[in-house]
Amino acid sequence: MKRAPETTALLLALTLLPGCGRSLSHHLLDASMSSAHRPAPPAVPAAVLPEAKSPYQILGGDMHCHVSPPDSPGHVSRGMEETVELARAEGLDFVVLTPHVPSQFFQSESLRQRVQSELAALERSVPRGEGDPIFVVGFEYTDYHYGHVGAAFADLGAVYAEVPARAALTDPTKFFRAFLRHGGLLVVNHPLLTPVDSIIRIARANLSWRPFTEPGPYPEEIVDLDRTAQAFEVYNLAVTELRDRFLLGDTSATLEATLARLDREIPLRARPLVPVGGSDSHSGHLRATTFVLAEARSAKGVRDGIVAGRVCVRDPAACSFEVRASGGAWLPPGSVIRDATMVEMRARGEAIRFYANGVVLAPEEPGHTVFVPVTPGKCSVLRARVDAGYSGPVYVNCPF
């Protein structure tokens, strides 16, 4: 089969050997990303019906962005200055910086000091001008055997003080438990990034979250992270626009498979699981991938909105998704409805598809709502696709 020129260029980029060709590889990847979905800037949300007003503003940003330093310059071609320029050019409200850190770094005094020093230096380089994007310095916990987890918003120094290296050696779960107690957010990154049979070397790597894709046993900290991480990266720009687009021929494959997996996991785990997005950019491109219904334009507003599940991914259109029980108020993604036998769903957009427990319901006609019977005592997970975006779920009759 004859390949399109952009496909040929991408294959060349991804099969180049490390060294002087890496810069060319990044340029070709960025050129390929230029045609990726670029969402319109999020507007102040307006309710579907004019009599209601939203208490939130929509903030669009990126939950998974690499930067060098601390990332290796051979691995990441973009420094902080270019990252700031790209974030401004894309109109991002927030960017979570996630340089790689090695697995179990918290058990080694020397690694702890190195990580803290590198992240402190990155923090000092962050601009804080009024109107600038909100930059949150976090990290990507990188375990090549079991999976990757984005961590942000907590005070790392306070976590270190609570859990010294000796304590983490005895019980490695203590570190991330303390991270959560200090206001942290934990995101399982690209959980279904399984290998693809390809001539492209990186495509053959297994970067998935192994508790989702392989039988155990797992280390204690991985088991605990699987139980406690608040969010899962359902939309990874690199996975969607490179792996799925060029190797699978379906840009929605991994995104929709991961959302469907969360639909199944939520009732089993009896806890909310929040879908988020990230560019996973290592070079000269960024996109808004996560949209948060936030109470304030601040790091706290972003963090609180995500933890509450008030999110949509890929496009802000899906943040218009709302659900209500009979006679109740319309509620945004992340809401919990109890003791209901019937709920009503609606959204604003040109193309709307509703899901109940992973099952596609009849598309909504513009201006109409959809009624869905639900069973008391049975957890129902409701969400929507609106135009190019996907909403976080609303939980009905769930035990949390």
What does the pLDDT read at residue 18? 36
What does the pLDDT read at residue 129? 84
Give the C-alpha separation, 53 to 375, whole Å.
30
What does the pLDDT read at residue 201? 81
What does the pLDDT read at residue 103? 97
Give the type of residue at 86: L
Is residue 167 exposed (0-12), middle (13-18) or buried (19+ Cβ within 10 Å)?
middle
CATH architecture of the domain formed by 319-396:
Sandwich (2.60)
Give the C-alpha separation, 65 to 139, whole Å.
9
What does the pLDDT read at residue 366? 64
| Inter-residue contact 232 to 276 (CB < 8 Å) | yes
The answer to whether domain 37-314 and domain 319-396 are alike in fold is no
Does the domain at residues 37-314 carry the CATH identifier 3.20.20.140?
A: yes
Residue 235, strand partner residues: 277
Give the C-alpha separation, 39 to 216, whole Å.
39
What does the pLDDT read at residue 50? 42
- Give the DSSP letter of residue 146: T
- Give the DSSP letter of residue 104: T
pLDDT tens per residue, the chain (400 residues)?
444 444 544 554 444 333 334 465 676 778 778 888 999 876 655 444 444 567 899 999 999 999 999 999 988 999 999 999 999 999 999 999 999 999 999 999 999 999 999 999 999 999 988 889 999 999 999 999 999 999 999 999 999 999 999 999 999 999 999 999 999 999 999 999 999 988 878 888 999 999 999 998 999 999 999 999 999 999 999 999 989 998 999 999 999 999 999 999 999 999 999 999 999 999 999 999 999 999 999 999 999 999 999 999 999 999 999 999 988 999 999 999 999 999 999 999 999 999 999 999 976 666 678 999 999 999 999 999 999 999 999 999 999 9
In the chain, what are the domain boundaries?
A: 37-314, 319-396
What does the pLDDT read at residue 199? 83
What does the pLDDT read at residue 41? 74
| Inter-residue contact 169 to 109 (CB < 8 Å) | no
Half-sphere exposure of 166 (CA within 13 A, CB side): 0
Nearest alpha carbon to residue 372 among 327, 337, 341: 341
What does the pLDDT read at residue 368? 73
| Inter-residue contact 188 to 231 (CB < 8 Å) | yes
The rounded radius of gyration (Å) of the Cα atoms in the chain is: 21
Please list, residue by residue across 293-326, b when 16 or more beta carbons sit within 10 angstroms of its beta carbon and e when fewer do: bbeeeebebbbbbbbbbbbbbbbbbbbbbbbbbe
The span from the first CA to the last CA of the chain, in angstroms, equals 52
Give the C-alpha separation, 186 to 193, whole Å.
18
Give the type of residue at 195: P
Nearest alpha carbon to residue 8 among 28, 26, 22: 28
Give the C-alpha separation, 319 to 321, whole Å.
5
What does the pLDDT read at residue 186? 98
Largest distance between two CA atoms of the chain: 64
Residue with tokens 């961590």: 151
